[in-house]
Amino acid sequence: MDSVLRDIPITCLTPHPENSNRMSAEMLRKLRRHIERTGKYEPLTVRPHPSADGKYEILNGHNRLRVLRALGHKSARCVIWDVDDDQARLYLATLNCLAGTDIPERRVALLESLLGAFDVAELSALLPDDRRQLEELERLSHLGPEDLVAASALGKHEPRVSVILDFVLEEAEAKEVNLALDMIRASEEEDISGSQALVRLARFYLARCTPA
């Protein structure tokens, strides 16, 4: 894939409508301070806009564009890639995971779009998402309202969905949590995963704190 480096007027840059990545206000402030102090930033990755002549659609660098616009920059240094819609979505799902945080609902919508063009094996080899989660998402995407109603009538539970917990621990806190999980795993007769140990820890706490 050929690429071209060019300074493009900010007025000609538009965000991709399926971008799921957002950066916290604190991280945006840090990014702004860095650009103000050094004047340097990683070039944005864009493609020629699929429907607007003379415009470019951002694949990677939405947050940098926000900062550059706020600082009054008239143009942005960009790498131009000539890619189709499916490849653009694929880059959105990979490049934008390197900074900022995905909004879960929009991330799921983006992955559903990709599953319409790529199979699970391809995506699991390219994306940071777990293959089992992609398989579950693909299965759920094929369920219609009638399927959910039928499952309810039969007394079935809703399909189980894997969830990624998103939190950050200080180093000392992480050591305590890992020690507790290791102790739980060592106490079990069967070999359990760290996530299963975490569930057991949560159930133990709930059992102690729930009134009889």
What mean pLDDT comes out for the span 160-178? 66
Residue 130 in this model has a pLDDT that exceeds 90 = no
203: containing domain: 171-209
The mean predicted confidence, pLDDT, of the chain is: 78
177-183 mean pLDDT: 83
The contacts of residue 98 (CB under 8 Å, 6+ apart) are none
Whether residue 33 is predicted with pLDDT greater than 90 in this model: the reply is no
Domain-embedded: residue 104: yes
User: Per-residue pLDDT for 137 more than 80?
Assistant: no
Q: Are strands 13-15 and 75-81 parallel, antiparallel or unpaired?
A: unpaired
User: Is residue 153 a part of any domain in this protein?
Assistant: no
Residues 43 and 82 in one domain: yes
Residue 176 in tokens = 């305590």
Q: Is residue 165 part of a domain?
A: no
What letter does residue 157 receive in the DSSP assignment? P
The rounded Cα 54 to chain-centroid distance in angstroms is 29
The total number of structural domains in the chain stands at 2
* Range of 54-58, 122-126, 129-133, 144-148 with top mean pLDDT: 54-58
Q: What local confidence, expressed as pLDDT, does residue 155 receive?
A: 45
Is residue 30 predicted with pLDDT exceeding 90? no
What pLDDT score does 54 carry? 93
Residues 63 and 128 in one domain: yes
Nearest CA to 83 out of 45, 120, 38 is that of 45
Q: Are residues 181 and 138 in the same domain?
A: no
Dist. CA 87–CA 69, nearest whole Å? 27
Asked whether residue 151 is assigned to any structural domain, the reply reads no
Task: Break the chain down into helix, strand, coil percent, rounded to 5.
Answer: 55, 15, 35
pTM of the entire predicted model: 0.50
96 is a domain residue: yes
Does 150 map to a domain?
no
Looking at the structure, tell me whether residues 123 and 196 fall in a common domain: no
User: What local confidence, expressed as pLDDT, does residue 148 receive?
Assistant: 46
**Residue 204 reports pLDDT greater than 70:** yes
Query: At 71, which CATH number?
Result: 3.90.1530.10
Q: Does residue 121 sit in the same domain as residue 198? A: no
Per residue in 107-128, pLDDT (tens digit) is 777 788 888 888 888 877 766 6
Q: Are residues 187 and 99 in the same domain?
A: no
Same domain, 132 and 184: no
Looking at the structure, tell me whether residues 180 and 140 fall in a common domain.
no
- Say if residue 101 is in the same domain as residue 185: no
